[in-house]
Structures are given as C-alpha cells and as structure tokens.
Amino acid sequence: MEQKKHRAIERLSAIGYEITLLKHSIALLEWDQETYMPSQAIEERSEQLSLLQTILHKKSTCEEIGELLDALDATDETPAGEETLVERERAVVKVFFRDYSREKRIPTELVTELSRQTSIAQNVWVEARKQNDFTLFAPKLSTVVSLVKEKAAAIGYIEHPYDPLLDEYEPEMKTERVKTVFQEAADDLKELIDDIRGKTPVDETVLKGSFPLDKQKGFGNRVLTDMGFDDCRSRLDISAHPFTTSLGSNDVRLTTRYRNDYFNTGFFGIVHEGGHGLYELGYDEKIHGTILADGASLGIHESQSRMWENIIARSRAFWTYYFPILKTYFPDQFDKVPIERFYRAVNSVKPSLIRVEADEVTYNLHIMLRFSLECDLITGDLCVSDLPEAWNALSRELIGLSPETNADGVLQDIHWSMGGMGYFPTYALGNFYAAQFFAAMRRDLKDIEDDVAMGNLHRIRAWLRDKIHRHGRMMSAEQLCEQVTGEVLNSRYFVQYLRGKYSDIYEL
Ligand code: MG
C-alpha cells in the first residue's frame, strides 16, 4: 500500500514538473511578445501560444491526475496521505487536488467560449475607451459577465457566487471576509484623506523635468542590485505595462516603462516589480520546478511588490541613503533640492480618477469601488447598462470625485473585458498584507530603518525570504499570514502605517 502511494506521489511530481516546464515556455513567448517581438510576428505567435495553452490545459486536467489523487485519498479538507508522506509531498497533493478539481468542474466548451468572447471583448474595450463610448462595450461585457457567472456556478460555491471567482486568485479567501476587511478600513482611509485634503498640497514639481532613460535605468539597476538581484538570474526590460514573469526557477524577468518627463513611473515601477521578482527567486530550492513554486496568492504576491515600492522605497530612511546617489545620476534636476522636499514629493496624496496613478492612501478606495460593483454584477443586483451610473456615484462616495467621462471611469481598466472578476481585491489585500508583514518584521528586526538608511537591504531580503518567499504555495495566504504575524489578516496595520507616515508629512 505504502509502495503504491509512493509511486503515485512520484508520478504526480513528474506531471507537476512537466506542467511547470510548459508554463515557463508559455511565459517566455509572452515575455518576448511584450518586449522585443517584431509586430508582424503576432499572428503566428498567437497560434504558438494557443497551441501550448491547449497542451497545458490537457495536461493539467488529464484523467491520470484524478486517478493518482484518488490513490492518494486526496480531499479538499484534510491534506492527503498519512504521516509517511513528508509535509512537502502533502502540500503537493493538496495543491494538485485544488487546481485539478477547479479546472475539471469548468466544461471545456465554457473555457473555449470564455476565451473567444474575452478576446473579442478586449478588442472592443480598447476601441470603446478610445471613443469614450460605453454603449459600444456594454453588449460584450454583458456576454462576458454571463459566462463568468456560468463559470462560478460550474465551480460551485456555498456562500457567495463571487467566492469561486475570488478563489482563483486568492485561494481560500471568501467574499464576506473581504467585505469585512474593506469595511473596517474604509472609514479610516476616508477620514485620513479628508484630513490631508485640508492641508497645503505637496509640491511635486521636482519630479517633473527631463530624465534621460539610460540614467533612469542605471539608477533602477543600482537599487535592484542592492535589493539582491544579479544578471545571472534576472533581467530588466521595457514594456507598455510593467510586469514580472518567471521563465525558469533561476530566470526572472522584470519590465518597467519610463517617462522622460516624470521620475516616479520608471523608478517605482522597477522597485514594485523587483518586489515580485524577489518572491519568485526566493522559493526554496527543494520546491523548484514543482507545483508549489508559485505565490501563495496574488494578494501575497502584491504584498511583496507594495512593501518594496511604498513602505521601503518611499520611506525617509531609504532616501537618506539613495537621494545623494540619485543626485549623481541627475545632478541638474536634483542638486539643489533638499531631501525633505523630494521625500514629500514622492509621497504626495491627491484623490484622482485613475487607479494606476493613485497614491498609496487613495489606492485601496479605487479597489473597494471595483470590488463592490463586480460583486453586484455577479449576484445580478446590478446590470451592465447601469454600470457607468453606479460607478460614478460610488466614485464620488468613496474617492470624493466623479469622472467626467467613462474613459476616465468605468472604461479605464482592462480586467473586466478579460473576464477577470475576482482579481481586483487582491491589489488591496496586498497593501494590507504588506503593512501587517512589515509590522512583524519591525518587531523581529529592531532598528531596521537604520539598515535602510545605510543602503543595507540585506536583512529585509533575508527576513522576507525566510518568512514568506521560500514557502511558495506550501500554505494558503491566511495560514502564511498567521504564521508570520501571529494573527489573520487585519487592516489595522495598514491604517496605522498610513496615519503615522502622513501625519508627519502633512502635519496633521
Ligand atoms: Mg503588482
């Protein structure tokens, strides 16, 4: 019997490795498409990707996996196997069971139809946004919403039809739990924004000017090196939308986009993706190539990027060390600028309409807006034709602003056209997890700010690797959070972090 289980786990691991190899191959084609691919290559590239995706889907849902999981007595609740299977193997079985059960429940025809309709909807969305015409997009979005509802029903749920959608990106997280966490933070955030609104705006002019791209890249790479990156395992390139992807256990690609006339976009984009990249490079070697070598959830992944981007790289300690270095890259721009003015400028808070340009205080309100609307779309409490009006009203209520155009409102994000309902909350969860993790890190590593102020980021990286990165998907996000911080997700840490930081900057 034990022999049989041993063989089953070995076979499952072998399939897992092939899945990993396929995923990395797909990632390489996609990375190339976003960075260096000549434009006329798009047609065959799409076919290459579609073929590999089909092969991957077949492999991930093959009958053999089901038989192996049966042989291992895998279930949802308890980790499969007995004490004889080591912890890592039990985690492999559990994650396989989760992924496999999800995939298997979605009928193949629905997968195909979703992929077809979202591909159409994305194209229409681009055009609708360009023309600022929601009515163009509405019929396509209606189709996508109804297919996504079908998907949720096929996967199944106990409490909320949004649960199975959320679960795709944030395993084991529940809609009601997100609602509670968001509600607990919303009033405090709005109050903080009101307090800041009553103060003199921060002067941001120092961040605008002329920033040659090679200098931006040079400084960005300098900081990446200090964060722990080297040429042997990573690269930094340019793409229209910044992203991080793994092409192998020892091959992480980061991209950013630069603006010649504005400092923040390129640099904070690099540090953000660097946070994602360290997570990807930090998995324990023992899980390399396995199904466990991935983020615990998108929220946990985003916590790593947000912590580096905002909590660390927008701190006074960080610029105490790096501002003099930045001046050597851009002497004309910054030589006469006092550090305090620069520090305040990179931390300017201003309610705005566009999510991707939002500061760290207002950002989560943009997410709460989307989360609330997409929940209502999925339950059927809101229909697509009423979406723009609902968006504008909620935007006014949460952010204090209502967009003049749908292009600056309901049409601004690509996610819904892709059928990505359930994705948005992970951005806000990332901010919450980041603050909670950082608070735990400060308890563990006394005076960590002194390290940062000397450009020594080593202890931070080592702590993150030990507590978070190396585990990959061994634990769920909530389990990880509890193990690292001693409690489940609690938005209080994020609110406290912001209160403390911005009371000082805005003299509240
Ligand atoms: Mg990110």
pLDDT digits (tens, 9 = 90+) for 335-370: 999 999 999 999 999 999 999 999 999 999 999 999
Q: What is the pLDDT of residue 133?
A: 98
User: What local confidence, expressed as pLDDT, does residue 99 receive?
Assistant: 95
Backbone angles phi, psi at 170, to 5 degrees: -130, 80
The residue with greater pLDDT, 483 or 42, is 483
Ligand 1 centroid from CA 305, angstroms:
6
> What was the pLDDT predicted at 80?
44
**Percentage of the chain with pLDDT > 90?**
93
| In contact, 114 and 419? CB cutoff 8 Å | yes
Quick one: pLDDT band at residue 230, thresholds 50, 70, 90?
very high
Distance from the alpha carbon of residue 506 to the mean position of ligand 1, in angstroms: 27
From ligand 1's centre to the CA of 80, what distance in Å?
Answer: 33
Q: Pick the catalytic residue: 34, 89, 170, 273? A: 273
Alpha carbons 408 and 312: distance in angstroms, whole number: 30
Distance (Å) from CA 365 to ligand 1 centroid: 17
Active-site residue, 273 included = yes
pLDDT band at 171, cuts 50/70/90?
very high
pLDDT at 79 over 90: no
Comparing C-alpha atoms, which of 451, 434, 426 is closest to residue 496? 434
Residue 8 alpha carbon to ligand 1 centre in Å = 36
Nearest one of 415, 255, 224 to 322, comparing CA atoms: 224
Cα 288 to Cα 85, 183, 285: the distances in Å are 19, 38, 5
Amino acid in position 383: C
CA–CA separation, 487 and 480 (whole Å):
10
pTM of the predicted protein model: 0.96
Provide the pLDDT confidence category of residue 32 given band limits of 50, 70 and 90: very high
Mean pLDDT of the chain: 95
Residue 253: its H or E element: strand 251-256
